[in-house]
Amino acid sequence: MNPFNQTNPRPYGRSVSIIGVGCTPFMETLNNPETAGLTDGELFGYAALKAMEDAGVTPKDVQFYYHGCASPLNGSNYLTPNMQVAEWFGMRGKASVHHSEACCTGYLAVDIAAQAIASGKYDIVLTGGIDFGDALAEQGVPAHMRHHFSFEEFQRSTEWLTDNAYSRHLLANVGHDYGAVWYQEKAGLTDDEIDKALCKLAIIARENAKNNPLAIDHKTYQEEAKEAGYDDVMEYMQSELNPKIGQAQRITGLEHKCDGATCLILCATDLAEKYTRNKPIEILGVGNSALEASNPILEIDATREACRQVYNETGLTGDDIDLMYINDFIITSQLLASELAGYIPENQAWKYVMDGRTRYDGDKPINPNGGRCAFGHAHAASGLADFYDAVLQIRGKAADHQIKKQPKTVFLRGFGGGQNVCTVIIREKD
How does pLDDT run across 405-414, given as a tens digit for each residue?
999 999 999 9
CA distance 8 to 284: 15
List the CATH number of the domain containing 29: 3.40.47.10
A 10 A CB-CB count for 270 gives 13
Would you say 156 and 299 are in contact if contact means Cβ atoms under 8 Å apart? no
Mean pLDDT across 224-246: 97
Mean pLDDT across 257-276: 96
More confident residue, 79 or 163: 79
Report the number of distinct structural domains present in the chain: 1
More confident residue, 153 or 289: 289
Mean pLDDT across 163-179: 64
Domain around 123? 16-156+257-275
CA distance 163 to 170: 9
Which uninterrupted H or E stretch holds 79? none
pLDDT at site 296 = 67
pLDDT at site 83 = 92
In this predicted structure, the answer to whether residue 417 has a pLDDT above a threshold of 80 is no
Q: For residue 149, name the pLDDT band (cuts at 50, 70, 90).
A: confident
pLDDT at site 125 = 98
Q: Are strands 281-290 and 259-268 parallel, antiparallel or unpaired?
A: unpaired
Q: Does 37 fall in a domain? A: yes
Type of residue found at 280: P
Q: Indicate the range of 41-45, 66-70, 75-79 predicted with least confidence.
A: 75-79
State the DSSP code for 330. B
In this predicted structure, the answer to whether residue 117 has a pLDDT above a threshold of 90 is yes
Q: Does 70 fall in a domain? A: yes
Percent of the chain with pLDDT over 70: 94
Q: Does 378 fall in a domain? A: no
In this predicted structure, the answer to whether residue 172 has a pLDDT above a threshold of 90 is no
Lay out the sheet containing 64-68: strands in order across.
Answer: 96-99, 64-68, 124-132, 259-268, 16-23, 281-290, 420-428, 409-416, 323-326
Q: Does 266 fall in a domain? A: yes
In this predicted structure, the answer to whether residue 1 has a pLDDT above a threshold of 60 is no
Q: For residue 231, name the pLDDT band (cuts at 50, 70, 90).
A: very high
Q: 234-243: long-range contacts at Cβ-Cβ below 8 A with a sequence spacing of 24 or more?
A: 234/196, 234/199, 234/200, 234/203, 237/199, 237/202, 237/203, 238/195, 238/196, 238/199, 242/199
Between the CA atoms of 212, 224, 415 and 173, what dihedral angle is there, to the nearest 10 degrees?
Answer: -170
Mean pLDDT across 44-69: 98
Would you say 89 and 83 are in contact if contact means Cβ atoms under 8 Å apart? no
pLDDT digits (tens, 9 = 90+) for 302-332: 999 999 999 999 999 999 999 999 999 999 9
Instruction: Give CA separation, 241 vs 71, 224, 230, 237, 252, in Å.
Output: 32, 11, 11, 7, 10
Q: Does 234 fall in a domain? A: no
Mean predicted lDDT score pLDDT of the chain: 93
Q: What are phi and psi of 285, to 5 degrees?
A: -175, 160
Type of residue found at 361: D
Q: For residue 419, name the pLDDT band (cuts at 50, 70, 90).
A: confident
In this predicted structure, the answer to whether residue 15 has a pLDDT above a threshold of 90 is yes
In this predicted structure, the answer to whether residue 108 has a pLDDT above a threshold of 60 is yes
pLDDT digits (tens, 9 = 90+) for 337-394: 999 999 999 999 999 999 999 999 999 999 999 999 999 999 999 999 999 999 999 9
pLDDT at site 174 = 43
Q: Does 360 fall in a domain? A: no
Q: Does 25 fall in a domain? A: yes
In this predicted structure, the answer to whether residue 226 has a pLDDT above a threshold of 70 is yes
pLDDT at site 158 = 72
DSSP letter string, 212-265: -TT-S--S-HHHHHHHTT-S-HHHHHTSTTS-BSSSS-BGGGB--B-EEEEEEE
More confident residue, 143 or 248: 248
What SS3 state is found at 67? strand
Q: Does 112 fall in a domain? A: yes
Q: Which residues of 372-409 are buried (b: 16+ CB within 10 A; e: fewer)?
A: bbbbbbbbbbbbbbbbbbbbbbbbeebeebbbeeebeb
Q: Indicate the range of 2-6, 134-138, 265-269, 413-417 predicted with least confidence.
A: 2-6
A 10 A CB-CB count for 228 gives 12
| Residue of 68, 122, 64 lying closest to 100 (CA atoms) | 68
A 10 A CB-CB count for 274 gives 12
| Residue of 18, 102, 101, 86 lying closest to 48 (CA atoms) | 86
Mean pLDDT across 417-427: 89
Q: For residue 60, name the pLDDT band (cuts at 50, 70, 90).
A: very high
pLDDT at site 5 = 76
Would you say 175 and 181 are in contact if contact means Cβ atoms under 8 Å apart? no
Give bridge partners of residue 264 from the DSSP assignment. Answer: 21, 127
